[in-house]
Amino acid sequence: MADKLQVWKQALVHLQKETITTLTDDVPAVYTFGAAWDGVVEEAFNAGDWNFAKLSVALSLNNTETPAVGWSYVFDYPDDWMRTVAINSSPDFRTRFYDYVDENGFLHANTNLLYLRYISRDKMDDVASWPTMFWRYVAAKLAYDACGRLTSGDTLEDKLEKRVDKALRQAKSVDARNENNKVLNPGSWLMSRYGGYGPCGRNDGGTLVGGEVTFQEGDV
């Protein structure tokens, strides 16, 4: 379990700078990290479908907004919605579902039951809930974003860029191991080869247990 101070200290290790004792130390790193923090965290949350930040909910009908043309019902996004992972008319999210549209800040559909799996913005401030590999990725990214202001070495910046990429891959890999069986949709190459269906005559993909997931496998 980490806190913001620990993440900042790890970023300073990457930058080969002296550590800090509080988030209010009167040193350039604190001011630079403070200015960069929100953007770095938001980009990190957008870099993957992190399991620790996912929530699944039944959406609430909005009875005051007028549905978009061609649709019958309007749904509100949750207050903490940051980014959509999946939308479905079934709570198990196992079937393909395209009968909806995102328009004017609302979801519109022709079913009065709609389920949303999404990344929660509330988790951005809850550093203690971040898994180890994720907060270490944020620390590497914070160091990289602050490198130009806090150092004068292009070599270090190049090294940090590679560390960020590696940290992201590791964080995604560990995060994926915590998932249950996952249905993968066939990619464009397989769909084309089998006339719009997967290799088994279906278009619902296969199942993957653990490991890092790459959707639309077979794309070229």
Predicted confidence (pLDDT) per residue in 46-88, tens digit: 999 999 999 999 999 999 999 999 999 999 999 999 999 999 9
% of the chain exceeding 70 in pLDDT: 80
Given this model, what pLDDT does residue 14 score? 96
Given this model, what pLDDT does residue 192 score? 56
Residue 118 lies in a domain: yes
Given this model, what pLDDT does residue 178 score? 72
Given this model, what pLDDT does residue 195 score? 54
**When comparing pLDDT for 216 and 40, which is higher?**
40
Residue 64 lies in a domain: yes
Residue 117 lies in a domain: yes
Identify the CA nearest to 219 among candidates 183, 180, 193, 182: 193
Given this model, what pLDDT does residue 196 score? 53
Alpha-carbon gap, residue 6 to 12, rounded angstroms: 10
Residue 151 lies in a domain: no
**When comparing pLDDT for 148 and 19, which is higher?**
19
Residue 25 lies in a domain: no
Given this model, what pLDDT does residue 153 score? 65
Residue 177 lies in a domain: no
- Helices 132-150 + 28-46 axis angle, to 10: 130
Total domain count for the chain? Answer: 1
Given this model, what pLDDT does residue 205 score? 41
Residue 70 lies in a domain: yes
Give me the residue label for tokens 């990619």. Answer: 187
Q: What is the DSSP string of 119-131?
A: EEGGGGT-GGGS-
Given this model, what pLDDT does residue 152 score? 75
Residue 201 pLDDT greater than 90, yes or no: no
What pTM value is reported for the model? 0.76
Residue 87 lies in a domain: yes
Instruction: Name the residue range of residue 92's domain.
Output: 51-122
Predicted confidence (pLDDT) per residue in 143-194, tens digit: 999 998 898 766 788 899 999 999 999 999 999 887 665 555 554 554 555 5
Exposure class string for 27-61: b at 16+ Cβ within 10 A, else e:
eebbebbeebbeebbeebbebbbbeebeeebebee
Alpha-carbon gap, residue 168 to 92, rounded angstroms: 28
